[in-house]
A and B are shown apart, each in its own frame.
Chain A
């Protein structure tokens, strides 16, 4: 974590020192002396081999429930599809740098559309057993050059309740692999050192269908739509969002500058484009698709989630783009937002207007240059070349195949 922190600090410093307004004042490029990291082309920098797993791990699940393609965890499915037709894919596993295992652990949905993570550990385990017995590549490194997309609430901890997720911790078999997940929080069990944080899936066509002309004046100061209290799961309040969302409501429901409510308006996307600040507070998990929506619609995200790790944090200078508010400072949110100098606000808007920034948050079909798929590959490429210690000597075993709760050991 300290490596990542120092790396990001160095990169941030480089961004600060090297970024300057181009002659086109409309957008500012997020540039550094390392070049435009967001626009790096991963082709040629890495090779990915995609395992051929039986369809019970992927296709059959999708056939059973096609809703998996539209919920916010659809990144795992689309990543697989992208890699199948991408130029970085190689059919020769001996020259591959990274190995992709197409498993869809979040595709087990309740009738209301929420994923149940209870069977996911068993599914992962059985898949890894299959991989390790059919191909020699897992045993070579015990999974250190494999990556898995785990976009669920708490990543590879495979539970939606934070207490239980912390109890379980990351699945022991995935301890050496690289995890590509949406969850990111510093000093948390469920965020591994070398993980790549990605944005949650938000449907790009739907968002682009609601674009309004950019000269419509932004007249809403702060905008938020969503729950403040989760009466079903947290009736007394104080657990959901660690009380932050409730604090926002109680402090600012009378404030005309804050357009906040629990409505589901049809003009949600259009309203975001008419707002200057969009609140992105934590919910049961610190990440939310609101961040993606805010970036796409040019609304400055106000992130209220302590210690959160935002997507592609090593490539995107989130401090310059969004506003970070500590959860304990929520009662002073209006003071904080109005005391930001106008020049800073305009600069943030210029950075947000940068098309490569918006593109990096999306998973468009078919894939386009600079989108989130490419950023994931860039992130993987930045981790190359693999450290020599990653490769194990013959017969050496590091992972404990029997660790974890007893229920996980049952075959799937």
Chain B
């Protein structure tokens, strides 16, 4: 009763200009009472200095229905648009075409389940991801906008091709710009290569080259040059627009490399880290010791394994850093599968990038210091990309003037007689299967006593996790034998005792070092 009276008096106060109190006599006492209380509270709040009355009322009178946030939904309150505000009436008086939007109080609309919907959250995340991708494309890499990266890769079918080509492919797949991948294959187009590069998802131009890849590093280099020129001819014919870089299939590229080459204007050079390994662990160690000695004695002659542009203090190109091949003189690999250091050329192609417009026919805004590509004579021996230029001093050094090494040159190939399954798929399954002897499965029959020595050692070497039956334990302890933990009948361990243990350098589950030493 008190509650409804409160509501109604509230309403009355709100409505006072519009309709006078209709039911005066019954409400007068209540109104007076509230008025007195209100005045009292006003006085108190004057003294205390905050809205005491309202707070008291809300705390005293608060019930679940008196929700501060949803007064309009109380059923006994009429819908707010129609009344409650005197200004509404004046609005109707002042303008004939009243605004749809009313001045007064509206409901605070809350939906029944004000929590996030997972489907919409996913949609929002997809939107965010798309926006960020667009941002990267437009503003990333210094805001240059993105130019297509044209990667030129000479390759041929061999054991390590899958290793190398997958590496290059995944690097190119990560590049945030458009990529055109020109793969030139020596020996013609093959299914092997096609099956690897087909998974890339970037645009691939697979070109066959009629020569077969020769067996020596030197000749291979020459053929690779011809293959690259073939690819450049493709760029010229198809009028591909972008930045041409040479992604040799065994090299490793960093992602910053692709960002940096976007800055090239016509012809640029980056520093390449040369990993001239020897393939022979001992020789590697020895050469490293030698190098350390050399460094102690002669400080200047440190063979930096870096090839690239050399700049002076004002960041202008003055020359080239070239890999120092002297330490490897006479010891470098000649044949592809030699166990010796593989040395790079004087200037490797992978360290150069060029604007594809250099290769186009029409001389539109092509600088004069660039030779006409169409007139290039391959038989004259094109060694490095600098042969494409009339004036090699116009090359732009990239990567803070060659100080950053952005890619690494490496040549690793398998032995000449190595074979690999075509497509790296084992089909049909392998013919030779060896049953696992020491498995938890009990149906493997025990070995007959006339087995050969090395088979014994092999089987013994594989004993790791089998439970020792108690008798055997005791036996072993008695005999001080190396614990061959097997679930085998007694005579097995007896055999251990009798036979001289073969030199077993494989896994040791030994219990006593004494026996270990004996055997060794």
Of listed B68, B105, B108, B132, residue having the most chain A CB within 10 A: B108
Q: Check A233 for interface membership: any CB of B closer than 8 A.
A: no
Structural contact, A250 and B139, CB atoms closer than 8 A: no
Of listed B72, B94, B101, B111, residue having the most chain A CB within 10 A: B101
Structural contact, A339 and B123, CB atoms closer than 8 A: yes
A254 to B121, CA, bound (A): 12
Interface segment out of the listed A100-108, A132-140, A327-335, A365-373: A327-335
Structural contact, A307 and B117, CB atoms closer than 8 A: no
Structural contact, B110 and A215, CB atoms closer than 8 A: no
Query: Which chain B residues lie closer than 8 Å to A214 at the CB level?
Result: 135, 138-139, 143
Q: Check B299 for interface membership: any CB of A closer than 8 A.
A: no
Q: Check B448 for interface membership: any CB of A closer than 8 A.
A: no
Q: Which listed residue (B99, B106, B111, B124) contacts A221, Cβ 8 A?
A: B124
A253 to B111, CA, bound (A): 13
Structural contact, B101 and A256, CB atoms closer than 8 A: no
Q: Check A218 for interface membership: any CB of B closer than 8 A.
A: yes
Q: Which listed residue (A215, A221, A239, A345) contacts B105, Cβ 8 A?
A: A239
Structural contact, B143 and A235, CB atoms closer than 8 A: no
Q: Check B140 for interface membership: any CB of A closer than 8 A.
A: yes
Q: Which listed residue (A237, A244, A276) contacts B69, Cβ 8 A?
A: A237
How many residues on chain A are close to B (CB under 8 Å)? 55
CB B127 to nearest CB in A, in angstroms, measures 6
Look across to chain A and name the residue whose beta carbon is closest to the beta carbon of B141: A215
Structural contact, A243 and B130, CB atoms closer than 8 A: no
Query: Which chain B residues lie closer than 8 Å to A208 at the CB level?
Result: none
Query: Which chain B residues lie closer than 8 Å to A349 at the CB level?
Result: 131, 134
Structural contact, A338 and B139, CB atoms closer than 8 A: no
Query: Which chain A residues lie closer than 8 Å to B139 at the CB level?
Result: 213-215
Q: Check B418 for interface membership: any CB of A closer than 8 A.
A: no
Structural contact, B94 and A189, CB atoms closer than 8 A: yes
CB A273 to nearest CB in B, in angstroms, measures 11
Structural contact, B100 and A337, CB atoms closer than 8 A: no
A345 to B110, CA, bound (A): 27
Structural contact, A185 and B107, CB atoms closer than 8 A: no
Interface segment out of the listed A80-88, A90-98, A163-171, A199-207: A163-171
Query: Which chain B residues lie closer than 8 Å to A162 at the CB level?
Result: 87, 103
Structural contact, B138 and A331, CB atoms closer than 8 A: no
A76 to B174, CA, bound (A): 54
1/0 contact string of B106-133 vs chain A (CB within 8 Å): 1111110011110011011011101110
A339 to B68, CA, bound (A): 33
- Within A192-233, the residues touching B (CB, 8 Å) are 213-215, 217-219, 221
Structural contact, B135 and A338, CB atoms closer than 8 A: no
Q: Which listed residue (B103, B123, B132) contacts A166, Cβ 8 A?
A: B103
Please judge, given known A-B contacts A215-B140, A243-B106, whether A332 and B54 are in contact too, CB under 8 Å: no
Q: Which listed residue (B87, B102, B128) contacts A167, Cβ 8 A?
A: B87
Q: Check A122 for interface membership: any CB of B closer than 8 A.
A: no
- Within B60-112, the residues touching A (CB, 8 Å) are 68-69, 71-72, 80, 85-87, 90-91, 94-95, 97-111
Q: Check B145 for interface membership: any CB of A closer than 8 A.
A: yes
CB B454 to nearest CB in A, in angstroms, measures 62
Query: Which chain A residues lie closer than 8 Å to B107 at the CB level?
Result: 238, 243
Structural contact, A215 and B91, CB atoms closer than 8 A: no
Structural contact, A217 and B69, CB atoms closer than 8 A: no
A251 to B108, CA, bound (A): 10
Please judge, given known A-B contacts A238-B108, A246-B108, A276-B131, whether A256 and B116 are in contact too, CB under 8 Å: yes
Query: Which chain A residues lie closer than 8 Å to B145 at the CB level?
Result: 26
Structural contact, A237 and B108, CB atoms closer than 8 A: yes
Structural contact, A252 and B128, CB atoms closer than 8 A: no
A189 to B97, CA, bound (A): 10
A186 to B99, CA, bound (A): 8
Structural contact, B114 and A251, CB atoms closer than 8 A: yes
Q: Check A187 for interface membership: any CB of B closer than 8 A.
A: yes
Structural contact, B135 and A218, CB atoms closer than 8 A: yes
Structural contact, A342 and B127, CB atoms closer than 8 A: yes
1/0 contact string of B251-280 vs chain A (CB within 8 Å): 000000000000000000000000000000
Structural contact, B117 and A334, CB atoms closer than 8 A: yes
Structural contact, B131 and A346, CB atoms closer than 8 A: yes
Look across to chain B and name the residue whose beta carbon is closest to the beta carbon of A308: B101
Structural contact, A338 and B124, CB atoms closer than 8 A: yes
Q: Which listed residue (B71, B99, B100, B114) contacts A238, Cβ 8 A?
A: B71
CB A166 to nearest CB in B, in angstroms, measures 6
Look across to chain B and name the residue whose beta carbon is closest to the beta carbon of A214: B139
Q: Check B136 for interface membership: any CB of A closer than 8 A.
A: yes
Query: Which chain A residues lie closer than 8 Å to B106 at the CB level?
Result: 238, 242-244, 327
Please judge, given known A-B contacts A169-B94, A345-B131, whether A238 and B138 are in contact too, CB under 8 Å: no
Structural contact, B100 and A255, CB atoms closer than 8 A: no
How many residues on chain B are close to A (CB under 8 Å)? 51
CB B492 to nearest CB in A, in angstroms, measures 66
Structural contact, B131 and A218, CB atoms closer than 8 A: yes
A73 to B100, CA, bound (A): 28
Structural contact, B135 and A215, CB atoms closer than 8 A: yes
Structural contact, A238 and B85, CB atoms closer than 8 A: no
- Within B1-30, the residues touching A (CB, 8 Å) are none
A64 to B99, CA, bound (A): 39
Structural contact, B130 and A342, CB atoms closer than 8 A: yes
CB A220 to nearest CB in B, in angstroms, measures 9
Structural contact, A307 and B123, CB atoms closer than 8 A: no
Structural contact, A166 and B130, CB atoms closer than 8 A: no
Structural contact, B114 and A254, CB atoms closer than 8 A: yes
Look across to chain A and name the residue whose beta carbon is closest to the beta carbon of B90: A167
A215 to B176, CA, bound (A): 14
Structural contact, B103 and A217, CB atoms closer than 8 A: no
Structural contact, A332 and B111, CB atoms closer than 8 A: yes
Query: Which chain B residues lie closer than 8 Å to A337 at the CB level?
Result: 124
Query: Which chain A residues lie closer than 8 Å to B143 at the CB level?
Result: 214-215
Q: Check A149 for interface membership: any CB of B closer than 8 A.
A: no
Please judge, given known A-B contacts A214-B139, A218-B131, A250-B110, whether A187 and B99 are in contact too, CB under 8 Å: yes
Q: Check A25 for interface membership: any CB of B closer than 8 A.
A: yes
Structural contact, B136 and A257, CB atoms closer than 8 A: no
Query: Which chain B residues lie closer than 8 Å to A221 at the CB level?
Result: 124, 127-128
Q: Check A387 for interface membership: any CB of B closer than 8 A.
A: no
Of listed B71, B102, B124, B143, residue having the most chain A CB within 10 A: B124
Structural contact, A243 and B116, CB atoms closer than 8 A: no
Structural contact, A217 and B136, CB atoms closer than 8 A: yes
Query: Which chain B residues lie closer than 8 Å to A26 at the CB level?
Result: 138, 145
Query: Which chain A residues lie closer than 8 Å to B127 at the CB level?
Result: 221, 276, 338, 340, 342, 345
Query: Which chain A residues lie closer than 8 Å to B95 at the CB level?
Result: 187, 189
Q: Check A319 for interface membership: any CB of B closer than 8 A.
A: no
Q: Check A263 for interface membership: any CB of B closer than 8 A.
A: no
Query: Which chain B residues lie closer than 8 Å to A251 at the CB level?
Result: 109-111, 114
A144 to B516, CA, bound (A): 113
Look across to chain B and name the residue whose beta carbon is closest to the beta carbon of A332: B111
Query: Which chain A residues lie closer than 8 Å to B103 at the CB level?
Result: 162-163, 166
- Within A288-343, the residues touching B (CB, 8 Å) are 306-307, 327-328, 330-332, 334-335, 337-340, 342
Query: Which chain A residues lie closer than 8 Å to B68 at the CB level?
Result: 236-237
Look across to chain A and name the residue whose beta carbon is closest to the beta carbon of B136: A215
Q: Which listed residue (B51, B101, B104, B116) contacts A239, Cβ 8 A?
A: B104
Please judge, given known A-B contacts A215-B143, A219-B132, whether A338 and B71 are in contact too, CB under 8 Å: no
A167 to B90, CA, bound (A): 7
Query: Which chain A residues lie closer than 8 Å to B131 at the CB level?
Result: 218, 276, 342, 345-346, 349
A257 to B91, CA, bound (A): 39
Look across to chain B and name the residue whose beta carbon is closest to the beta carbon of A222: B124
20 example contacts (A-B, Cβ-Cβ < 8 A) are as follows A163-B85, A187-B98, A188-B99, A189-B94, A215-B143, A219-B128, A235-B51, A236-B71, A237-B108, A238-B80, A238-B105, A243-B105, A247-B108, A250-B110, A255-B115, A276-B127, A330-B109, A332-B111, A338-B120, A349-B131
State the 7 A-B residue pairs at the shortest beta-carbon distance, nearest first: A163-B87, A215-B139, A331-B111, A238-B105, A338-B123, A217-B132, A243-B108
10 other A-B residue contacts (CB within 8 Å) besides A214-B135, A214-B139: A167-B94, A185-B99, A187-B99, A214-B138, A243-B105, A250-B114, A251-B110, A254-B114, A257-B116, A332-B111
